[in-house]
Structure 1
Amino acid sequence: MAITPLDIHNKEFDTKLRGYDKDQVNEFLDKIMKDYELVLKEKDRLTDELNQHEEKLRYFNDLKDSLNQSIIVAQEAADKVRANSQREAEIINREAQKQGQDIIDQANEKARSIIDEASDKAKRLAFETDDLKKQARIFRQKLQVMLDSQLEVVKGSEWDEILQRGETTSYEAIQDVIRNDETLDKEMAKEVKSILNEVAESPEDEEEMLNVVEETTETVVIFPDDAE
């Protein structure tokens, strides 16, 4: 058990012959007591200070552990955020690529549709152009045949007889001319049919041109004016 200042103060020594001076011993003990009290006070102060430092040390250790734990949690959160960000970026990238590919596919499909439609229109136009050329060629042949037949009628000698200056032609003479013209028209129709057989490209063309010829082979008699 540690000696206290009170123990020193109350300490009693036995006396012997030729022993120490009692006053000096008491004085020295008082001095030791005071110094010991100071030492004890310093010890208590240092103990309190040590306890405070230990308390602070425990606080800082706890704070360090808490900070370390917070750092770990923050690191884990940052890793999760980074991972989530990467996943979201990948998803956004895939969606953007898909949307871009969809747009490209739609544009290609539309372009193919436009090209196909334009090609179909071009084919129809080419077909219609060929058909128009064919119809124009047939019309030209029809017109040429009709004009040739009418020209032959105009060049006939019967017209010369009708148009001769002199006495007025009688009605009977005109009727004879018309009958002769009909005979000539029939012969001319045979020649026209022979020509059509040569120029017609198909039986349909031949039949159609023959119909036109039949419509145009009717003889038209034009009487000259009395003034002439």
Structure 2
Amino acid sequence: MLTPLDIQKKEFSVGFRGYKVSEVESFLDEIISDYEKICNENIDLKEKIENMNKRLSQYETIEETLQNTLVVAQKTAEDVNINAKHKYEHIINEAKEKARKIIADANNEVVDMQRQYDDIRKEALMFKAKFKSLLTSQLEATDSYYNINDMNNELTRFK
């Protein structure tokens, strides 16, 4: 590539009826100045491109990291949801089992209480029958011991 220094050092041979040297040198000076500006701009632009490429690489790395993080976050969220669902199902099943046990225990207790009630009722009926029988036998014994007619006679005497 041609550099501004190459243009500056370039010398042309002077021929018969050639160009005016001062005009050529003046034009070459302009070319050198513009070419130098263009070269410097080109160097600056190449540095900017290199910096932009570095930044682009960093952003691509960040993007890849963010995508990986997003994938991990989604997987974690799915795992949390699955675990929560399993825990929910476990708690529900456990609660249903406890409820069944409580109901079964309550039913057993009701059956036991009904049995106890029936037993006490039978005992009360037997006691009532025995007591009635006892009272009846005591009345009969009393009646036979004290004849009712005799008592009636005695009562009439006291009147």
Which TM-score bucket, shorter chain as reference? 0.7 to 0.9
Whole-Å Cα distance in 2 between the matches of residues 19 and 51 of structure 1? 46
Whole-Å Cα distance in 1 between the matches of residues 52 and 101 of structure 2? 70
Partner residue in 2 for 1:81: 80
Partner residue in 2 for 1:135: 134
Q: Which has the larger radius of gyration?
A: 1
Identity %: 26
Partner residue in 2 for 1:119: 118
Partner residue in 2 for 1:185: none
Q: CA deviation at 1:41?
A: 0.5
> Structure 1 stretches (4+) deviating beyond 6 angstroms?
none
Query: Superposed, which structure 2 residues align to 1:12-23 within 5 Å?
Result: 12-23=11-22
Greater fraction helix: 2
Partner residue in 2 for 1:36: 35
Structure 1 residue runs without a partner (length 5+) = 155-228
Q: CA deviation at 1:15?
A: 2.2
Q: CA deviation at 1:71?
A: 0.6
Scaled by the length of structure 2, the TM-score of the pair is: 0.87
- Code of the residue aligned with 1:102 in structure 2: it is K
Scaled by the length of structure 1, the TM-score of the pair is: 0.62
Structure 2 residue runs without a partner (length 5+) = 154-159
- Code of the residue aligned with 2:22 in structure 1: it is D
Give 3-state SS (helix, strand or coil) of 1:9's partner. helix
Change (3 A) 1:19 1:142: same
Whole-Å Cα distance in 2 between the matches of residues 29 and 96 of structure 1? 97
Partner residue in 1 for 2:105: 106
- Code of the residue aligned with 2:42 in structure 1: it is K
**Number of residue equivalences:** 151
1:147 corresponds to 2:111: no
Whole-Å Cα distance in 1 between the matches of residues 50 and 25 of structure 2? 36
